[in-house]
């Protein structure tokens, strides 16, 4: 009782007779005296759940009895919410109240329904609900979706006046600037009478402007060679392929290439592959400095897999134990 916070404690003691005044057993008064009388002790205190205990009749002539009753505070029956997101670092709002950053556990929540909102820059805001049960932790796992970001492309050709097609749509003739392009890879096609058609890909990043000038190769005048190409990457060490032929790792300078349209491909562990078409002309060496884009973080494992794994272990232990008993 000394552990309870100060306040009013109400104790009620009620006698309970096992015979319950049975009128049909008047002839058995001697036997009735042997039946015990129980005392029910009820405790009430603000901030605690009511506690009940049953005591048999005491043989102490002074009527002194001792009982130890643990009173449970109300907050002990609350629950909690654990929230994880992919990627991590999302701001958590519980019923519009800021509650931390993922991954995070919000403790001491009264049982009931809660509205959860996760906010992270460059990702769609996520909203959902979960139910908190007394004495339990509700687990919420969320994979957040990237927002639709945009960039722009400035395209030109040498000579100017070539037709530009972006992802198959006609955008006019060079020079041209196209805005509001969604982030990601896009296909650029360039055509001009008397010159070879040229197709390449451009990678648009958020809130950036890409400027490219493409030299065109004449159909009537065969180009003279050879040509050279220098490639660096961030990080260094990317494998380089020219027209599907391995040439080494970055940084690298490749010589002896024919004047024509070529394709470069770069690969590196932990990064997206990079591909680009380009034109090589004599006396016009090309230089590329490529920033490799890292792969996304691996997704977290589903929480439902953990109980399954535990169940499988339990089954294996059970089977092993039964086999051992049979051998004995």
Q: Is the pLDDT of residue 107 over 80?
A: yes
How far apart CA 71 and CA 173 sit, in angstroms, is: 83
- pTM of this structure: 0.42
The string of pLDDT tens digits covering residues 21-68 is: 444 444 444 544 555 556 677 777 777 777 777 766 666 555 666 667
Residue 198 has pLDDT above 90, yes or no: no
Q: Which two tokens stand for residue 187?
A: 């296909």
Indicate whether 246 pLDDT > 80.
yes
Cβ(162)–Cβ(106) below 8 Å: no
Whose CA is closest to 10, among 32, 42, 33?
Answer: 42
In 10 A of CB 136, how many CB atoms? 12
Q: What is the model's pLDDT at position 243?
A: 87
How many C-beta atoms lie closer than 10 Å to residue 278's C-beta?
A: 17
Write the burial class of residue 231 (CB in 10 Å: 0-12 exposed, 13-18 middle, 19+ buried). buried
> Which segment of 15-24, 119-128, 233-242, 278-287 scores lowest on mean pLDDT?
15-24
Q: How many residues are there in the chain? A: 328
Q: What is the mean pLDDT of residues 143-161?
A: 87
Of the chain, the percentage scoring pLDDT greater than 70 comes to: 71
CA 186 to chain centre: 28
- Averaged over 232-240, what is the pLDDT? 94
Classify 244 as helix, strand or coil: coil
Whether 111 shows a pLDDT value over 80: the answer reads yes
pLDDT of 9 reads 53
Q: What is the dihedral of CA 217, 219, 222, 228, to 10 degrees?
A: 20
The residue among 198, 199, 264 whose CA lies nearest residue 230 is: 264
Q: What is the mean pLDDT of residues 87-112?
A: 93
């Amino acid at each position: 009782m000394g552990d309870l916070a100060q306040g009013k404690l109400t104790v009620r003691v009620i006698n309970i007779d096992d015979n319950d005044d049975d009128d049909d057993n008047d002839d058995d008064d001697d036997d009735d005296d042997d039946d015990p009388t129980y005392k029910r002790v009820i405790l009430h205190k603000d901030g605690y759940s009511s506690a009940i205990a049953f005591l048999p009749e005491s043989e102490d002539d002074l009527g002194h009895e001792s009982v130890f009753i643990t009173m449970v505070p109300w907050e002990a029956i609350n629950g909690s919410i654990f929230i994880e997101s992919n990627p991590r670092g999302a701001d958590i709002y519980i019923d519009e109240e800021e509650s931390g950053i993922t991954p995070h556990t919000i403790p001491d929540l009264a049982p009931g329904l809660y509205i959860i909102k996760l906010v992270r820059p460059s990702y769609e805001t996520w909203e959902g609900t979960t139910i908190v049960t007394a004495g339990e932790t509700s687990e919420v796992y969320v994979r957040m979706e990237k927002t639709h970001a945009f960039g722009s492309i400035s395209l030109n050709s040498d000579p100017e006046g070539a037709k530009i097609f972006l992802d198959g749509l006609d955008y006019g003739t060079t020079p041209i600037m196209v805005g509001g392009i969604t982030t990601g890879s896009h296909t650029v096609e360039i055509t001009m009478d008397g010159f070879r058609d040229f197709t390449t890909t451009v990678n648009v990043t958020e809130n950036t402007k890409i400027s490219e000038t493409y030299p065109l190769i004449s159909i009537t005048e065969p180009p003279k060679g050879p040509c050279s190409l220098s490639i660096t990457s961030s990080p260094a060490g990317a494998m380089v392929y020219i027209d599907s032929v391995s040439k080494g790792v970055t940084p690298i300078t490749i010589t002896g290439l024919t004047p024509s349209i070529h394709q470069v491909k770069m690969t590196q562990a932990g990064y997206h592959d990079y591909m680009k078409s380009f034109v090589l002309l004599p006396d016009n060496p090309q230089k590329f400095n490529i920033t490799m884009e890292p792969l996304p973080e691996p997704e977290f494992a589903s929480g439902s897999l953990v109980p399954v794994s535990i169940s499988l272990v339990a089954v294996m232990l059970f089977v092993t134990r039964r086999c051992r008993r049979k051998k004995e």
